[in-house]
Amino acid sequence: MRHFKDPYIRSIALTGFAGSVGADGETTLHLMDCVELPREAMGNPDTTISFRCFASLYELAAKRFGIDDFGLREAESLAPDYPNIGPIVFLSKFSRTLEQWLQLAMKYWIHHTNGFTLELIPGRTAGFTSLRYVAVPGFYPSRQLIENAMASICILCRNATGLQDRNPGVVRFRHRHL
């Protein structure tokens, strides 16, 4: 496996980005230029790109278009099979429980990004499990990226279980104020 000095993410994570902000192709490429993401990443889903630049892209889009909840909206805009994160949706077919599926998904995750992972924390109450977003040491990701990841996980859990009407019991975000 390749080792990267800085956190990375596969460029397939850019899937749906332009549509979520209602931007045309040229505007999207301009935003990518502003955060130093290579333009060719948009057309090559298997390129590895800087996770830091990817996080900056989300923040820039939120600011430029005045969309405070950009990360949440972007998560909701994607297709229910989440083509931007590979086989994670399909791993649910090989799991008996949601927790089993999440454990399988996290084993795959390092092949998608090393920018963050999720930590499963057994619930104190039967039937509950907590998830914690864990960033790469020394890197505090953007608000938009954290909210996007957690909203995506919620939607994925609904899809994996077939329980589309279920919502998290509690959602807590602790964002650093800059």
CA 103 to chain centre: 16
Bigger pLDDT: 79 vs 64: 64
**pLDDT score recorded for residue 176:** 63
pTM equals: 0.83
The answer for 172, left when phi > 0, alpha when psi is -120 to 50, beta otherwise, is beta
Q: Is 50 exceeded by the pLDDT of residue 145?
A: yes
The domain spans of the chain are 8-161
**What is the arithmetic mean of pLDDT over 129-158?**
83
Q: Give the phi and the psi of residue 135 in degrees, each rounded to 5.
A: -85, 160
Residue 2 pLDDT grade (very low, low, confident, very high; cuts 50, 70, 90):
very low
Q: Helix 25-34 crosses helix 51-65 at what angle (to 10 degrees)?
A: 120
Give me the mean pLDDT over the 13-38 stretch: 84
pLDDT-wise least confident of 28-42, 53-67, 95-109, 130-144: 130-144
Q: pLDDT > 90: what percent of the chain?
A: 20
Reduced to 3 states, what is the DSSP secondary structure of residue 133?
strand
Q: How confident is residue 48, by pLDDT bands cut at 50, 70 and 90?
A: very high
